[in-house]
Amino acid sequence: MRCVFRNRGKDEKLYNTMALNYIWVGFFLVGFVVALVKFFLDGDTVVFHEMVKSTFDMAELGVMKIALPLAGVMTLWLGFMNIGERAGAIRFMGRIVGGFFSKLFPEIPKNHPANGQLLMNFSANMLGLDNAATPMGLKAMQSLQELNPKKDTASNAQIMFLAINTSGLTIIPVSILALRATAGAANPTDIFIPLLIATAVSTMTAILYVGIRQRLNLWNKTVMGFFASIIAIIALLIVGTMVDMQALYQTLPPLFRTVFGFLNWGQNEWQTFSSVVSNLILLLIIVGFMAGALYKKVNVYDAFIDGAKDGFTTTLKIIPFMVGMLVAIGVFRASGAMELLMDGLRWIFGLFSSDTRFVDALPTALMKPLSGSGAKAMMVESMNTFGADSFAGRLSCLFQGAADTTFYIIALYFGLVGIKKTRYAVAAGLIADLAGVIAAIFVAYLFFG
């Protein structure tokens, strides 16, 4: 029996070590097999050309359109983060969330700067501030790596961090709302509440799965209070959609209409409010860091330069990992494997239900764990093909916001700190994505079906 369990442990360790390797190689092999079938059966003579072309295109995308712009953003935000650290702001923010984070990240010391960095990363993601969230997240990952006793193996804290990140928790999906408006949606914000529900389900699933795998004590007042609050908010949002807010506004006494004027807002007012709040919070963080540094008599400009120096070198470390993953995804798409997968899913779901409208939006869901820009393109394509206010058009927007680019995030964050043994980080991210997809389909039928 001991030998059996010993071998099982070794097999699990080997699986955890090789998971990302198998997935990466699988993109190439599956793409190549599909291309061979298309060549011999359909006489497609350009498929190999398209696959090779995609390798160069995606490599250029990874360096010229992702890495280089990211280097500038990294330089800027690592400078700001260094100001915040010297001002003590990161540590102060960490103390605010220390009670909750101590339950999810027991490996992190109570007053460690990583707590504040995690909070800033999660906050930026929730506000839809992707450009700020990535540098903050990379900085948090570096801090977690300092606490990691096995430098080539993902720690429990790093897996929990990435699982929450890949769950795509978003409160203000500004870019999705803007793209819906551009696509001619009658009410671009009508997906706002369904999206909140789907992304909340994805995040809670990520926390529960990783918490169970790590045997964390989730049955405590702090964590259960968080889950109860999220569930209560979801219930209120569902009930709230059944109420005509503008009609409710008209029933209020004149005195209360001033206080609750937001009930009468239209889509333009809500979009403006979301944009102003998101950017205002970001500017308040920057100014707060500087004010705190001045109060502590820190040379703010020198602190910025010292932190910014790491921006370019940090970006250089992640270029190989980004290029490798993007090229594999590009080959998979160019071979026609993604299209074949979609046809197969449509046939399978058709066996159980005559209503397969959701399949039209699935390309966005399947592409999201692989590529953010690819998923965004799929979302726009769905709205252009079926209409922004169609079921598929709306559902594709929910898919876009209900999860995040799991493989890209894992390659980016783990690549930065040299993690080779990812353990169950990939599984955690994909399970959270799946929960978000299922929740998105459910709420799409509930709200728009």
Q: What is the mean pLDDT of the chain?
A: 80
Please say if the pLDDT value at position 71 is more than 70: yes
pLDDT band of residue 1 (cuts 50, 70, 90) is very low
pLDDT of 199: 87
> When comparing pLDDT for 240 and 297, which is higher?
297
How large is the average pLDDT for residues 380-395?
85
pTM score, whole prediction: 0.69
> When comparing pLDDT for 219 and 30, which is higher?
30
Which range, of 102-111, 171-180, 353-362, 381-390, averages the lowest pLDDT?
171-180
The model's pLDDT over 306-344, given as tens digits with 9 standing for 90+, comes to: 888 877 777 787 788 778 877 887 888 889 887 788 788
The model's pLDDT over 216-238, given as tens digits with 9 standing for 90+, comes to: 887 877 778 777 877 787 776 66
The model's pLDDT over 389-416, given as tens digits with 9 standing for 90+, comes to: 899 899 999 998 888 888 878 888 888 8
Please say if the pLDDT value at position 6 is more than 50: no
How large is the average pLDDT for residues 51-74?
82
Please say if the pLDDT value at position 8 is more than 60: no
Contact 108, 157 (CB under 8 A): yes
pLDDT of 410: 85
| Number of separate domains in the chain | 1
> When comparing pLDDT for 417 and 259, which is higher?
417
Please say if the pLDDT value at position 206 is more than 80: yes
The model's pLDDT over 124-183, given as tens digits with 9 standing for 90+, comes to: 777 656 666 778 888 889 999 999 998 889 999 999 999 988 887 776 676 677 678 777
Angle, helices 391-402/425-448, rounded to nearest 10 degrees: 150
Number of neighbouring beta carbons within 10 Å of residue 277 = 14
Q: How far is CA 51 from the centre of its chain?
A: 27
Closest by Cα among 368, 313, 302, 314 to 338:
368
- Using the 8-state DSSP alphabet, how is residue 354 labeled? S
Task: Round to whole Å and give the CA distance between 290 and 276.
Answer: 21
How large is the average pLDDT for residues 187-212?
86
pLDDT of 448: 83
The model's pLDDT over 90-109, given as tens digits with 9 standing for 90+, comes to: 677 666 656 677 788 888 88
Contact 172, 276 (CB under 8 A): no
pLDDT of 232: 81
> When comparing pLDDT for 406 and 381, which is higher?
406
pLDDT of 405: 81
Contact 233, 274 (CB under 8 A): no
Collapsing DSSP states into helix, strand and coil, what is residue 281? helix
Which range, of 47-61, 188-202, 426-440, averages the lowest pLDDT?
188-202
Contact 160, 204 (CB under 8 A): no
Indicate the residue type of 439.
A
pLDDT of 243: 61
Domain of residue 444, residue span: 2-448
